[in-house]
Structure 1
Amino acid sequence: MSCNYCHQQITRNLTLAEIFLPKRIITEQLCSQCSKKFRRLTQKNSCKGCQKQQSKEFCTDCSQWQKLFPDYEFHHEALFSYDQAMQEWMEEYKFKGNYQLRHSFALELKAYFKRKSNMIVIAVPVSKERMASRGFNQVAGLLDAAGIAHEPYLVRFSNGLSQVQKNRKERMSLEQPFKLTETAERVINNQEVLLVDDIYTTGRTIFHAAEVILEKRPAKLHTFSLAR
């Protein structure tokens, strides 16, 4: 078994589940050295809206979102800091197209989503143009690698530059790029929904997607990203 990221050999003891259920052996994962590169986020000393690590109750961005969406009880969760180590990993996975890296955080995602089994999971989609050039949806890839079922209820009809290539002002001024499928419009009402993205920066993408979902009155809308 080798590290999913650096390709060094990994030696570890199998878990009981892997011994008695061989199909569950996870052969794609990070080695201990690579795992240490990524900083886990905590709820302590963080923004109550988006989990930004800070001492204030709400960050500047979330204060603005509260004004725009006063009836939405927003609370975003993420696992890792979007620091240099995560940016380098995202560059390799998302922009250079190393699709094998979708397995890197499968264990962490499995553990998180185990508590969300009663929710409709929706991955933030990419446009047809982005899918054609990249070849995959990076968010769906992460969920698939972790064995997490998700529904294609959102459609992205606008492409444009990647959020990473935009400054803060450009991100905040983007027009609505999403719409719901006809199926979603029938099933979301009064259901708990979990909207998933890969990275949370200003929240613009999440709130665009949330806006069209909230129109169908879900019982609760939760949001999550791998990194923040």
Structure 2
Amino acid sequence: MQCLLCHQNIHHKASLQWLLSWQPLPHPVVCATCWQSFTRIERSTACPGCGRAQTSRRLCPDCQRWPSNQPFHNVALFTYNDAMHNYFQQYKFRGDYRVRAVFSTLMQTTVNQLAGDVVLTIPVTASTMVTRGFNQVTGWLTDGLNQVDGLATLVQEKGVAQSQKARQDRMATPQPFKLVMGTERLRQQRVILVDDIYTTGRTMRHAADLIIENGAKSVTGLTLAR
């Protein structure tokens, strides 16, 4: 097989322990070199509010600006470095749907570990679905998870992308979402809310506010990158 990212041949050697386990042989979709270019965030020392990588488990300066009594926190798996930037260019902006497989197993496993009652994803606008053809977040969760289409965007056309806005402009963004599911499905439920990148947290917290206002007990965000 070839690596989905660098297109070099993948040389995978199964261990004796794996062979003796009689499990199916793994079929890696990314080579070791590319995988090692991503930087995992150590959960034991990450910011408990947003999942940011740091050396001790305390609220980072960004999270200290948010209300401390909201039943929301975010878990992030990787630091947004050059390798992650290149990945999103290929997946999200050039529309290479195949590379969802690089992180799909890890994202699905983490959702299961978080053990929520309801899994929701941050939606994309209708115009984005037309031009890109898929929601990059649900792309990771299509195989094996029963996520609910509970949120939709209030606008059909996407304006200036969040990635192109300054922090001040991001923070001033009005509520962009509406609920498209019955509130009875949220009442006293622990919701897992999945998105791709946590930057300022404005997008995730807008969605979390809406979900909590409609009866959820708590919201745990999960993002691939921080």
Q: Is the 8 A contact 1:138 1:198 kept in 2?
A: yes
Question: TM-score scaled by structure 2?
Answer: 0.88
Question: TM-score scaled by structure 1?
Answer: 0.87
1:29 correspondence with 2:40: no
Q: Is the 8 A contact 1:122 1:150 kept in 2?
A: yes
Instruction: Give the match for residue 108 of structure 2.
Output: 110
Q: Which runs of 5 or more residues in structure 1 are unaligned?
A: none
Alpha-carbon deviation of 1:213?
A: 0.2
Q: Which runs of 5 or more residues in structure 2 are unaligned?
A: none
Q: Is the 8 A contact 2:52 2:76 kept in 1?
A: no
Question: Within 5 Å, which residues of 2 pair with 1:64-213?
Answer: 64-66=65-67, 70-144=68-142, 146-158=143-155, 159-181=158-180, 183-213=181-211
Distance 1:118-1:204 versus aligned 2 partners, 3 A rule: closer
Alpha-carbon deviation of 1:53?
A: 2.3
Q: Is the 8 A contact 2:154 2:178 kept in 1?
A: yes
Distance 1:37-1:55 versus aligned 2 partners, 3 A rule: closer
| CA-to-aligned-CA distance 1:48-90 (integer Å, 9 cap, x gap) | 2112223572223212212xxx431332101110111101111
SS of 1:150's partner is: coil
Question: Within 5 Å, which residues of 2 pair with 1:42-57?
Answer: 42-55=42-55, 57=58
Q: Is the 8 A contact 1:82 1:227 kept in 2?
A: yes
The total of aligned residue pairs comes to: 220
Moved over 3 A (4+): 25-28
1:222 correspondence with 2:220: yes
Structure 1 Cα separation of the partners of residues 71 and 184 of structure 2: 23
Q: What amino acid sits opposite 2:2 in the alignment? A: S
Alpha-carbon deviation of 1:191?
A: 1.2
* C-alpha RMSD of the superposition: 2.3
Q: What amino acid sits opposite 1:133 in the alignment? A: T
Structure 2 Cα separation of the partners of residues 120 and 151 of structure 1: 7
**Identical aligned residues as a percent:** 37
Structure 2 Cα separation of the partners of residues 71 and 143 of structure 1: 30
Structure 1 Cα separation of the partners of residues 61 and 213 of structure 2: 25
Q: What amino acid sits opposite 1:197 in the alignment? A: D
SS of 1:112's partner is: helix
Distance 1:130-1:26 versus aligned 2 partners, 3 A rule: farther
| CA-to-aligned-CA distance 1:190-222 (integer Å, 9 cap, x gap) | 111100000000000001101110111212211
Q: Is the 8 A contact 1:4 1:28 kept in 2?
A: no
